[in-house]
């Protein structure tokens, strides 16, 4: 049987962010090899990027424990059908993106069929469930890391890993924003993208903003709406007598660059602030039980990505009962009132920006995947 020269890569994503990362990766793969075939599980972005969607990511986009339990039969069928698709299509490689509960099982199926598997945008195993490192070592050819410290963490545990850069750098229009200067006393308010976290944090952020306004009468507030979040929810949680400018998603980065300080939820928005050079007070609230269990499971010195990357507390972290309005306001007022304190943080953020590297994470990930394919010889037999 003659070797085939057409190559097929399967990409597996199970949620909206994974669909976005999968689409960027698909475009980079096709740019490097226009004859490459792409198939897998994802959403509209991956479909538009030229990936044949054998399965929709809607099959695994579940929230909450009861939904996971009720959806188990569907997931079991999906995994069975995925294995059959691997046998039928015989992909040269499988790339899984985040979504560990499903993608570890997808990787096991592929590995069992002799198909090399790569993890792009790996879940934060270094923070919790470190036992999964052995699964990475067993089933994955390489982990393509998006945080600088991840490569050493995995390498020390015998997992092949390569740092490809952070995809956020490909979303942030840094060159376009270079000329945007912070306005005195403007504060960005970033309560997150999930309804539950917004309801938990925004009232405290609003109360902190009121304290800031009493101390700094010229203070101005930009409340940034995350994509997919209802504007009415923000309006309902913000006091009517406290002036605020609600920023739509497409204007979020310019509004952040215009600000002198930020009140931010822990998560991606904190890293966005760091990469834009915006000092942020990071706050987060969980249910008491969830927080108790998290403290038992998580063994890391910080919760925000900027502090983890720098290995120091550049951004104040206020969690649970510490995330009170007076504490949040006090931390932000330091930067509004003391120019040298704000400048010291910005120096740390400049260092973080150099540590994270340059844009092009998807391009480097695509190159690593195709180089691995080439190293194993042309085509399938």
User: Cα(275)–Cα(171) distance, rounded to whole angstroms?
Assistant: 11
Q: 359 Cβ partners below 8 Å, 6+ apart?
A: 165, 169, 170
The distance of Cα 280 from the centroid of its chain, to the nearest Å, equals: 18
Cα separation, 120 vs 317, whole angstroms: 28
Judge whether 91 and 115 are in contact, CB under 8 Å.
Answer: yes
> Within a 10 A sphere around the Cβ of 224, how many other Cβ atoms?
25
Q: What is the pTM for the complete model shown?
A: 0.85
- Nearest-CA neighbor of 144 among 376, 370, 380, 351? 370
Q: Residue 242 corresponds to which tokens in the numbers above?
A: 């406290």
376 contacts 39 by C-beta, under 8 angstroms:
no
Beta strands in the chain (DSSP E): 8-13, 37-42, 52-56, 93-97, 117-120, 142-145, 161-163, 186-190, 220-224, 245-247, 261-265, 280-284, 317-319
Q: Which residues contact 101 (CB under 8 A, 6 or more apart)?
A: 68
Q: What is the pLDDT of residue 299?
A: 66
pLDDT, tens digit (0-9, with 9 covering 90-100), for 105-157: 999 999 999 999 999 998 877 666 667 888 999 999 999 999 999 999 999 99
> In 306-333, which positions are buried (b, 16+ CB within 10 angstroms) versus exposed (e)?
bbbbbeeebbbbbbeeebebebbbbbbb
| Dihedrals phi, psi of 192, to nearest 5 degrees | 110, -175
d(Cα 122, Cα 100) in Å, to the nearest integer? 8
- Three-state DSSP at 256 gives helix
Predicted local distance difference test score (pLDDT) of residue 284: 85
Report all structural domains of the chain as residue ranges with CATH numbers, in order of start. Answer: 8-165+360-375 (3.40.50.2000), 174-356 (3.40.50.2000)
Q: Is 341 helix (H, G, I), strand (E, B) or coil?
A: helix
CA-to-CA dists, residue 72 to 55, 59, 181, angstroms:
16, 10, 51
Closest CA to 360 of 76, 91, 144: 144
**93-97 and 8-13: which strand pairing?**
parallel
pLDDT, tens digit only, all 381 positions of the chain: 334 458 999 999 988 889 999 999 999 999 999 999 999 999 999 999 999 999 999 887 544 344 445 567 888 899 999 999 999 999 999 999 988 889 999 999 999 999 999 999 988 776 666 678 889 999 999 999 999 999 999 999 999 999 999 999 998 999 999 999 999 999 999 999 889 899 999 999 999 999 999 999 999 999 999 988 899 999 999 999 999 999 999 999 999 999 999 999 988 899 999 999 999 999 988 666 655 555 655 667 788 999 999 999 999 999 888 999 999 999 999 999 999 999 999 999 999 999 999 999 999 999 999 999 998 765 543
Phi, psi of 11 (to 5 degrees): -115, 130
* CA 168 – CA 172 distance, rounded (Å): 6
CA–CA gap between residue 301 and residue 250 (Å, rounded) = 34
Q: Quote the CA–CA distance of 379 and 288 in Å, as a whole number.
A: 54
Condensed to tens digits (0 to 9), the pLDDT of residues 306-325 reads 999 999 999 999 988 899 99
Torsion angle (degrees, nearest 10) of CA 168, 169, 171, 172: 110
The token duo for 15 is 């949620």
The pair of structure tokens assigned to 243 is 């002036």
Phi and psi at residue 61, to the nearest 5° = -80, 85
């Amino acid at each position: 049987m003659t070797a085939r020269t057409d190559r097929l890569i399967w990409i597996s994503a199970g949620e909206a962010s994974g669909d976005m990362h999968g689409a960027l990766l698909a475009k980079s793969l096709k740019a490097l090899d226009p004859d490459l075939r792409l198939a897998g599980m994802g959403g509209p972005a991956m479909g538009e990027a030229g990936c044949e969607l054998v399965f929709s990511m809607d099959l695994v986009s579940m929230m909450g424990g009861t939904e996971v339990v009720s959806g188990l039969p569907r997931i079991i069928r999906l995994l069975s059908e995925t294995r059959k698709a691997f046998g039928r299509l015989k992909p040269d490689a499988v790339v899984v993106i985040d979504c560990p509960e499903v993608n570890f099982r997808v990787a096991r199926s592929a590995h069992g069929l002799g198909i090399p598997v790569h993890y792009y945008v790996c879940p934060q195993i270094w923070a919790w469930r470190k036992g999964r490192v052995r699964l990475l070592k067993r089933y994955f050819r390489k982990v393509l890391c998006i945080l600088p410290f991840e490569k050493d963490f995995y390498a020390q545990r015998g997992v092949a890993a390569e740092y490809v850069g952070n995809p956020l750098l490909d979303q942030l229009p840094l060159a376009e924003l270079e000329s945007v200067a912070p306005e005195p006393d403007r504060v960005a308010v970033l309560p997150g993208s999930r309804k539950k976290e917004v309801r938990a944090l925004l009232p405290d952020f609003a109360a902190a903003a009121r304290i800031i306004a009493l101390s700094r009468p010229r203070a101005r507030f930009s409340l940034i709406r995350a994509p997919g979040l209802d504007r009415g929810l923000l309006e309902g949680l913000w006091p009517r007598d406290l002036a605020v400018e609600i920023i739509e998603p497409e204007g979020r980065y310019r509004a952040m660059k215009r600000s002198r300080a930020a009140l931010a939820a822990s998560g991606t928005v904190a890293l966005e602030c760091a990469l834009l050079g915006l000092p942020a007070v990071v706050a987060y609230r969980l249910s008491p039980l969830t927080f108790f269990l998290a403290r038992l499971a998580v063994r890391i010195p910080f919760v925000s990505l900027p502090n983890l990357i720098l290995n120091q507390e550049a951004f104040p972290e206020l969690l649970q009962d510490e995330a009170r309005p007076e504490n949040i306001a006090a931390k932000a007022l330091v930067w509004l009132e003391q120019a040298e304190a704000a400048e010291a943080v910005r120096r740390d953020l400049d260092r973080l920006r150099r540590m994270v590297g340059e844009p092009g994470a998807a391009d480097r990930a695509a190159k690593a995947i195709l180089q691995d394919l080439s190293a194993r010889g042309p085509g399938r037999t």
